[in-house]
Structure 1
């Protein structure tokens, strides 16, 4: 009778740290991103919500972040303003065009600024959650999504 010794090979899986799964989308407004970029007190909470997400915003976010930086610089925090903008350049963020009629409709329905309506409109269009520290916008988003059974 023949006997054979079987030695099982050790399995080695060497994996590149690339992301395979799609990160869930999150529409992020200026208040949340500015908290992270300019090291605001809300930074830890904001960073926790952004982690592992694909970030989306209307194109106007660039203007709003620059406005925050300008206010920081005018208040004497020039270094913070410059560093925040440099960090912003490194943020992986998908910028989206806006639909003016949708903005007007949402702004009127929820008594929002058209700027805030842009974030709500984008979240609605993408079927994604909206992260904001703006209480008025947050309440409008909750009402909007609950009215549609999305929240």
Structure 2
């Protein structure tokens, strides 16, 4: 049984009906669209919350993106504040104000899995702290933003060599 050609006329027209279908779409403005995730480390966030010289670069890079970080970022930022106090770069009030600013940032926090973090730390000769950011970026398949050259080099290698996602079809 073969297929018949419809001689270029729609089925509705052949049945004596004329039907025009127009699909309408209403959607929110761009400011409601999901922001792409980007993993941020403590160097980037510290620049923002403690008004460091790289602050504008950090803000510009994160604009329009959803910052994501391992839970340990909270402790690292608090430690940066403490180090600034010890080094005489901040007064206690300024460090506390920076921490309040940190609490106002829309950072999404995520847990980590220890074994792969340790593997990454060993492979790339990173601290477990830095490897946590790298692992999260690899897990989310998201860019990693940092001012740390060693971490950036590890991320460039790691993220460029990720295996394809399991649900992605193979290229012929």
Q: TM-score range by the shorter chain?
A: 0.7 to 0.9
Instruction: Give the TM-score, by structure 2 length.
Output: 0.74
Residue number in structure 2 paired with 1:9? none
CA distance in 1, matches of 2:157, 2:41: 18
Aligned positions of 1:50-61 closer than 5 A = 50-61=62-73
Q: What is the deviation of 1:87?
A: 0.2
Q: What is the deviation of 1:55?
A: 1.0
Runs of 4+ aligned structure 1 residues displaced above 3 Å come to 16-19
Instruction: Give the TM-score, by structure 1 length.
Output: 0.84
Residue number in structure 2 paired with 1:119? 133
* Gap runs ≥5 in structure 1: 1-15
Aligned positions of 1:62-73 closer than 5 A = 62-73=74-85
Aligned Cα root-mean-square deviation (Å): 1.8
Residue number in structure 1 paired with 2:33? 21
Q: What is the deviation of 1:50?
A: 1.1
Aligned positions of 1:86-105 closer than 5 A = 86-105=100-119
CA displacement 1:31-66 (0-9 Å, x = unmatched):
000001111111111110111111100000000000
Q: Is the alpha carbon distance of 1:125 and 1:73 closer, same or farther for their aligned partners in structure 2, counting shifts above 3 Å?
A: same
2:38–2:68 CA contact under 8 A, matched in 1: yes
Residue number in structure 2 paired with 1:145? 159
CA distance in 1, matches of 2:127, 2:71: 16
Considering only CA atoms, is the larger Rg found in Structure 1 or Structure 2? 2
* Gap runs ≥5 in structure 2: 1-27, 165-172
CA distance in 1, matches of 2:162, 2:117: 17
